[in-house]
Amino acid sequence: MSTHSATETAASQTRTARVSWRIRLLASFGPLAAFAGVAWAIVQPYRVTLLHPHGQGFWWLVVEPPLFVVLAGAFFHLFVARALIEDLEE
């Protein structure tokens, strides 16, 4: 093995260790937001009208803030965070 290959490997490992906390933080935003939405639905169950839909219309059942928070966290994790993490790794 040449010294050039060994030097490149050591430098890339140092760079990966330096960026890893950023990647972990970025990857945790989506699941944390989704967990916050679930916790919100548990703490304030009256906000989730699917549990008691008596006399509620379609839009009242679909537009629920805790569900939006869970969906936003999932969307961020699946689409935004993955692209940003790939960018950070380059």
Helices 82-89 and 3-43 sit at what angle, rounded to 10 degrees? 160
Residue 52's pLDDT band, with cuts at 50, 70 and 90, is: low
- As for how many domains the chain has, the answer is 1
- pLDDT > 70: what percent of the chain? 72
6 domain-assigned: no
Say what the pTM is: 0.69
- The Cα 23–Cα 25 span in angstroms is 5
Q: How far is 34 from 76, CA to CA, in rounded Å?
A: 10
Is residue 42 one of the residues assigned to a domain? yes
Per-residue pLDDT, 11: 57
Domain that holds residue 56: 21-89
Instruction: With respect to residue 7, please indicate whether it lies within any of the assigned structural domains.
Output: no
